[in-house]
Amino acid sequence: MMDDVAARGLVLLGCGKMGSAMLVGWLDRGLPAASVYVLDPYPSDWLRTTGVQINAGLPSDPAVALIAVKPQMMGDALPAMQALGNGKTLFVSIAAGTSIARFEAELGDCTPIVRSMPNTPAAIGHGITAIIGNDYATAAHIALADALLSTVGQVVRLDKEGQIDAVTGVSGSGPAYVFHLIETLAAAGVAQGLPAEMAMRLAKATVAGAGALAEAADEDPAQLRVNVTSPNGTTHAALEVLMDTETGFPPLLARAVAAATDRSKELGRG
């Protein structure tokens, strides 16, 4: 699979933090630098050291064209890729808010396209990305997209494109929810008398450690919660506040995820 990419080439449209993270993963897995063609108006100094081809002539029939530009730059970027549409090149998009129909309109109805929604921890190899293909994306195309995106974390496959909006609400925007949890947990520690630096260190390590444990453990998170909750103990006292069905996490996060999902739908229509 990757041999075909090495032979035919991979075009990377945009090489910011996410594109750079994926490029590192591909090169580490043995993809020859000379097989990668990067189109980026502001290539970084790091990118120039990798040996990839930057803003050079593109191959006539690359295996993959991965679109990693910001959504607001899509209108200027896509015309440069139209010549590769309606052919054998697989287009993979990691751009938020740009539908498969939009790509088909720009690139051609017969273009194999995989739309994906990664999240920012992908920049350090700990992301999770959801993918969905159009009617011209074969099982082999989906497998190739999975292999390419797995270099920056886990990959899940969706049943239909509409699920992308819910993925955006949960994992796409989700890191910001966790960052805010860290902020507020540290602030609560300061309110109880801890030095600010210590409170922040405790909050960061607690959230990171709990997340790692949740991924590594055989038990589900609900059972892990039960495991650390002694009857009438300190954790029990806190959870009575956090699990309140009217004011706690359940209704708050439900509203937050719904708001992000709804906004994702609006942007997709825009």
Give the pLDDT of residue 171: 96
Give the pLDDT of residue 12: 95
| Residue 10 bridge partners (DSSP) | 36, 64
Q: How far apart are CA 137 and CA 256, in angstroms?
A: 33
Cβ neighbours, 10 Å, residue 220: 9
Dihedral class, residue 142 (left if φ above 0, else alpha if ψ from -120 to 50, else beta):
alpha
Q: Which domains, ranges and CATH numbers included, belong to the chain?
A: 2-163 (3.40.50.720), 174-269 (1.10.3730.10)
Give the pLDDT of residue 10: 96
Amino acid letter, residue 224: L
Residue 30, token pair as written in the block: 């043995």
Q: How far apart are CA 80 and CA 76, in angstroms?
A: 8
Give the pLDDT of residue 43: 93
Q: How far apart are CA 153 and CA 147, in angstroms?
A: 10
Amino acid letter, residue 182: I
Q: Compute and round to an integer the Cα radius of gyration of the chain.
A: 21
Give the pLDDT of residue 76: 78
| Residue 36 bridge partners (DSSP) | 10
Tens of each residue's pLDDT in the chain, 270 residues? 678 899 999 999 999 888 999 999 999 889 999 999 999 989 999 999 999 999 988 898 999 999 998 777 777 778 888 999 999 999 999 988 889 999 999 999 999 999 999 999 998 889 999 999 999 999 999 999 999 999 999 999 999 999 999 999 999 999 999 999 999 999 999 999 999 999 999 999 999 999 999 999 999 999 999 999 999 999 999 999 999 999 999 999 999 999 999 998 888 776
Give the pLDDT of residue 123: 86
DSSP 54: E
What is the DSSP track for 165-207? HHHIIIIISHHHHHHHHHHHHHHHHHHTT--HHHHHHHHHHHH
- Distances, alpha carbon 97 to alpha carbons 157, 171, 187, in Å: 18, 15, 34
Q: How far apart are CA 141 and CA 32, in angstroms?
A: 20
Give the pLDDT of residue 110: 95
| Cβ neighbourhood burial of 76 (10 Å; 0-12, 13-18, 19+) | exposed
CA 94 to chain centre: 7
Scored b (16 or more CB within 10 A) or e, 149-166 reads bebbbebeebeeeeebbb
Q: How far apart are CA 31 and CA 24, in angstroms?
A: 10
Backbone angles phi, psi at 113, to 5 degrees: -135, 135
pTM, two decimals, is: 0.91
